[in-house]
Structure 1
């Protein structure tokens, strides 16, 4: 046991550890190897030491230990470093493989915590290794350079950069002899160009900038083909430093005389080349890469806040982090998403989107956008690279419903950069962006283009500029065939001359009054829908071959009438359902899966082309009847009208469940159908949705949250329309759901908030109940500021009393929970009931580390009636604490104080802060409060109590102020009594004088009469 304790307490020679950190296993392994070397070579000269060690290295394990031990000695004993390196180079019979592996492990695992003197020895090792031309030392140097990209202290980072720049400037010959396509050259260029810009505002590092500029200029002029491995990322790196004279000269060569740099080199050719996946990873440190991989692979949306907060605090809290955010954006694009790509892509989008608001300047945010969209500007379908364009789309879709202003900014940036980035290549860049969108559409990643192009969140001018720039995505239809509609338009063909095409003015390809998407079929062989039509038709035919004959013909009939009016299609759908009901014994699990896939292919156009509801949508019976006149809703209607006892109901549920598994919009469309104002089927409709949830192995509230999340992305007007229905019909579950409130807080806009508050005012819905309110408040503390403001707007609108959050008051921390603290102030300001002891205890139980309690007390005493009550409660509490002996905080390990524990020391501390900050103001409210008799009596008791003597000394100024206010109060009371007495005596004197006059007058009169 003693040896174990000794081992734990042994100081680390490699790392700077605090008292609670254990030594690293790798360090112990290296140290054990060093001890072995010391035991065998202690006191021997270098040659004899080499001979002894040479005899020991016969076994592989011993060889690994010895090389590790020599490396440990080199790092921890600078005075013997040359000796250890010489022996290491003589023993390196494996081409330095073992030694370099150990160096890599040290750089990966230990470098961030390494002692400064050990870091200097790392530099010494690299210098000696370069001089000795150690094989593959350039690859290890890359891992050393990566540590500059961890967002750590700027001085430490610059020391590392200076060391590398010095080594490379001193060893041009070694650089020249590196094999072609050596990775060190492009990685050095990427890292140095970033820091050359970041350090431009620091005069102290001007010499370092000059060193890095010299290295980069040499690499570009002498080893340009190696730099060209970066492909389009080389152009991105050179853009960052284009204003520096040395790089401006490179740009001129690249633009006007590229043959000097290399054969077949040009800006366009470089932009056509994809950057290999390995190079962007070197933009960040190994520790950052591991954390990002964990976030993308293991973290699920909704649980990501604490991980992102930790990441920001760990790596991005330094003001000097500079362009690290844009580097993270670029690196995140290339990282894999683990075993669940869909969740990983969503987490990647959330992470990248979180980088934009954190930027320190507009310029930095623009670089983040450029790094995100760079592959869109360079995309060529022939070269592939579609994986690199998907993240930007997911980011844009995420921002559209989380941060609409930022989404507009990103779309506007994409549009402007298409013709401003490089005017000579404007057409090529525009085509690249168009091809990027086409790829996403063709591979069902984007779905309908209207998800982005027609999203109502996009500002009109942004949408118009986008449409005008990327015309290839909005080819006008050549022929439009219309069918009879409610407007009385007769069937016929409308040519382009009959329809006004005005992309830049109206943002619509066809005048809305003439034809709509629901009543028209675009017959354009080059359109996206027709391209999908062919693949869908082929897939449908393949699936129908495996469908039972009894169902095959109805499906073919339904598919055959998909271009006819909806009445005919609904009739065909009902016939298919009748076939299913009549032949239910033929339906096994495989047949249900086949039917669901066939129906989704048939309904694909309905689902993909469904436009978001208009802003002024009203669910009148006429509007709903027209909307629900589609085959999909025929299935929903049959389900809702089928009683529980009917066996066919389970078949319909199974069919819809299979469709939901393949298309996430099906379930929220069913929720929409159940919310229709068909009162005669409302109860059975709700039962249909809850039964579907059960079949999907999900609780109703979990499924509702999932459906609303998807609905908000697809149709934010329908999303707002469903919320009142959810809180009305699923009130118990909805009011207790943290995830649902979080979704609303992150998604609602101003109009939707106003509409929901109107629903509350009319007493149709309620958002909160007392028993589930605290968990929601607690969870909201980690949300974004805007989301918290939306949440508290709903809280104030419902008139939630401050009593509901009493237990949270002691947990709020300033400034970490600034948003919630501000809302508590507002609740206290609007409080319409007298303060109680629970509120006072919770306020006083907080440690006096901030002004929260003082501010709350000040708010409570603004009303004279409340002030009297607060003074009475404080007085009672002081008396009680003196009697019970609760004078000082409890620090015993065995006894943990309750959350509402209050001692007299805390109470006096808060009042002392109140005294310091609130007295001598114009209103004199604080003086009037402290001078109240009930409070003065309590302090009188405290003065007289012997056990309070230590606190009286500690808070002597508070007691002095209370005594002064007591004397002033007594003096003013005596003055008031004297004034009243004097007035009373004056009044009596006046009365006697008047009586005397009346008597004299009476006597005189009597005398006269006599």
Structure 2
């Protein structure tokens, strides 16, 4: 029996999970029609029945309601096994699913939310990870719209049962909006509708549940800067900088508080599909340095192109903040993180994407606090600058110049906070042994003299007392010029 679940080329091997669902359905198909057996299934029978019902819901739309009622009648574990199977379907099969199956998948997800099934949060995370930035295909826009509608329609459920899912969805839709707002909407009514729904959702979270925005941490501001010219977000920016009391959250009084909140690695995973994550972790765990070129070429052809190269920003944040290799890996001859990031920078042809990638690399430098932040988040940026000398000194020039621009212009009114963050980052990098010294840069004959001079001045301040002490800056009563405009990262 051919799969009714996925598209499969004749030369492809059968997918084991697809086969297990199909075989369970074939075995139990007579029991999936009313009247249903009244006997209580054993544990193996219960597992097979869940597999069979899932296959029936996804592949028999005309009988979906019958299968769902059957599921309600036999469930004994709070739907835990069923949502686990649904999540596995999304993680392992989504890209190959037949169109009608995807429709059924979203339908049954809504049902699981309605019955407060155990594991719904994992299922929604899996679906959010399947939304692709920079992908304007009909199927991807459809998924984005289905999910944003789901979060809007089930708003009360999420507030009561899974409030952190609103934070996760906020991160995803802010990131998607950055791409969706760059495209002309005149010829794409679907994109226009999607964009308005995404804006509606994000503004609602900002205005009604701002404390959930704070859960994202400093990367909330990094995402917002790409939307600074979207009219609906301009008042949000004003309130963040000038009128924090408008958010009605006592714990928030100034944007510097957001700067000092480290973003959890779980948010960075939201923007990579499981397949992309698997290939990146393989590259950074098993491939020997010097042998990575063919793996990079394959990865680039599969996941990167001119239309969606903004995904590089998400990959760099993932590598810096969510993939921290063990000491054994670091000391081995496996391709280092800085080398992969250097390659990714060369994949970007658009100026604003290059700027955003460099910002993603240095973002934690700007607000680094040793008691909160991890040195592994800032290690790749330092090692990329050091190891690009002398063969790729232009890379070092570009990165150093961008770092100095960030320090001077990212937030002029909070320049002291940023300066302390960078100084603390440099201090920790040296004390933790990431670099033995900075002589590789300060004594480099091929380094631009003005950049070298600025670096020497910066390092001369590094040993000032209290460089890594926590500093909370008061609210600033002035709205400054938007830093993204000046840095070319819009």
State whether structure 2 residue 418 is matched by structure 1 residue 420.
no
Aligned to 1:279: 267
Aligned to 2:300: 312
Q: Residues 884-963 of structure 1 correspond to what in structure 2 (within 5 A)?
A: none
State whether structure 2 residue 100 is matched by structure 1 residue 110.
no
Runs ≥4 residues deviating over 4 A:
150-153, 343-346, 468-471
Aligned to 2:39: 55
Of 13, 18, 25, the match for 1:34: 25
Higher relative contact order (Cα pairs below 8 Å, separated by 6+ residues): 2
TM-score by length of 1: 0.44
Secondary structure of residue in 2 paired with 1:263:
coil
Of 109, 112, 123, the match for 2:106: 123
Find the aligned partners of 2:205 and 2:448 in 1 and give their Cα distance. 45
User: Could you give the per-residue CA deviations for residues 187-219 of structure 1, whole angstroms, max 9, x where no partner exists?
Assistant: 212221122121221411122111111111112
State whether structure 2 residue 216 is matched by structure 1 residue 230.
yes
Instruction: Measure how far apart 1:447 and its partner are.
Output: 1.1
Distance 1:430 1:394, change over 3 A: same
Contact 2:83 2:123 in 1 (8 A): yes
Find the aligned partners of 1:413 and 1:191 in 2 and give their Cα distance. 27
Higher helix share: 1
Aligned to 1:12: 3
Contact 2:134 2:179 in 1 (8 A): no
Of 171, 174, 177, the match for 1:190: 171
Aligned to 2:250: 263
Instruction: Measure how far apart 1:456 and its partner are.
Output: 2.5
State whether structure 2 residue 200 is matched by structure 1 residue 214.
yes
Find the aligned partners of 2:113 and 2:466 in 1 and give their Cα distance. 60
Aligned to 2:14: 23
Q: How many matched pairs? A: 458
User: Could you give the per-residue CA deviations for residues 339-387 of structure 1, whole angstroms, max 9, x where no partner exists?
Assistant: 4123488521111111111113110000000011001001012324222
Aligned to 2:285: 297
Secondary structure of residue in 2 paired with 1:148:
coil
Aligned to 1:369: 358
Find the aligned partners of 2:314 and 2:45 in 1 and give their Cα distance. 42
Secondary structure of residue in 2 paired with 1:340:
helix
Find the aligned partners of 2:134 and 2:3 in 1 and give their Cα distance. 25
Find the aligned partners of 1:332 and 1:345 in 2 and give their Cα distance. 15
State whether structure 2 residue 132 is matched by structure 1 residue 146.
no
Larger-Rg structure: 1
Find the aligned partners of 2:333 and 2:351 in 1 and give their Cα distance. 28
Find the aligned partners of 1:244 and 1:287 in 2 and give their Cα distance. 32
Distance 1:427 1:100, change over 3 A: same
Q: Residues 317-716 of structure 1 correspond to what in structure 2 (within 5 A)?
A: 317=305, 319-333=306-320, 334-338=322-326, 339-343=328-332, 346-468=335-457, 471-473=460-462
Instruction: Measure how far apart 1:104 and its partner are.
Output: 1.1
Q: Aligned-pair RMSD on alpha carbons?
A: 2.3
Instruction: Measure how far apart 1:239 and its partner are.
Output: 1.8
Instruction: Measure how far apart 1:130 and its partner are.
Output: 2.8
User: Could you give the per-residue CA deviations for residues 720-775 of structure 1, whole angstroms, max 9, x where no partner exists?
Assistant: xxxxxxxxxxxxxxxxxxxxxxxxxxxxxxxxxxxxxxxxxxxxxxxxxxxxxxxx
Distance 1:153 1:245, change over 3 A: closer
Contact 1:295 1:307 in 2 (8 A): yes
Instruction: Measure how far apart 1:469 and its partner are.
Output: 5.1
State whether structure 2 residue 236 is matched by structure 1 residue 250.
yes
Find the aligned partners of 1:156 and 1:360 in 2 and give their Cα distance. 26
Secondary structure of residue in 1 paired with 2:371:
helix
Contact 2:288 2:334 in 1 (8 A): no
TM-score by length of 2: 0.88
Instruction: Measure how far apart 1:303 and its partner are.
Output: 0.6
Find the aligned partners of 1:384 and 1:328 in 2 and give their Cα distance. 19
Between 244-253 and 327-336, the greater mean CA deviation after superposition:
244-253
User: Could you give the per-residue CA deviations for residues 849-887 of structure 1, whole angstroms, max 9, x where no partner exists?
Assistant: xxxxxxxxxxxxxxxxxxxxxxxxxxxxxxxxxxxxxxx
Contact 1:412 1:466 in 2 (8 A): no
Find the aligned partners of 2:354 and 2:83 in 1 and give their Cα distance. 39
Instruction: Measure how far apart 1:13 and its partner are.
Output: 0.8
Distance 1:149 1:453, change over 3 A: farther
Contact 2:87 2:122 in 1 (8 A): no
* Unaligned 5+ runs, structure 1: 1-9, 476-524, 528-1010
Contact 1:166 1:211 in 2 (8 A): yes
User: Could you give the per-residue CA deviations for residues 220-253 of structure 1, whole angstroms, max 9, x where no partner exists?
Assistant: 2222222211211112122222222222222222
Aligned to 1:536: none
Aligned to 1:78: 61
Secondary structure of residue in 2 paired with 1:363:
helix
Find the aligned partners of 2:303 and 2:61 in 1 and give their Cα distance. 31
Instruction: Measure how far apart 1:133 and its partner are.
Output: 3.5
Instruction: Measure how far apart 1:70 and its partner are.
Output: 0.5
Distance 1:325 1:331, change over 3 A: same
Between 140-149 and 366-375, the greater mean CA deviation after superposition:
140-149
Distance 1:293 1:150, change over 3 A: farther
Contact 2:330 2:336 in 1 (8 A): no
Contact 1:323 1:364 in 2 (8 A): yes
Instruction: Measure how far apart 1:443 and its partner are.
Output: 2.0
Find the aligned partners of 1:456 and 1:170 in 2 and give their Cα distance. 61
* Unaligned 5+ runs, structure 2: 468-490
Contact 1:349 1:392 in 2 (8 A): yes
User: Could you give the per-residue CA deviations for residues 1-40 of structure 1, whole angstroms, max 9, x where no partner exists?
Assistant: xxxxxxxxx4211111111012211111111222233122
Of 135, 150, 162, the match for 2:145: 162
Find the aligned partners of 2:162 and 2:324 in 1 and give their Cα distance. 29
Secondary structure of residue in 1 paired with 2:385:
helix
Instruction: Measure how far apart 1:419 and its partner are.
Output: 1.7
Instruction: Measure how far apart 1:471 and its partner are.
Output: 4.4
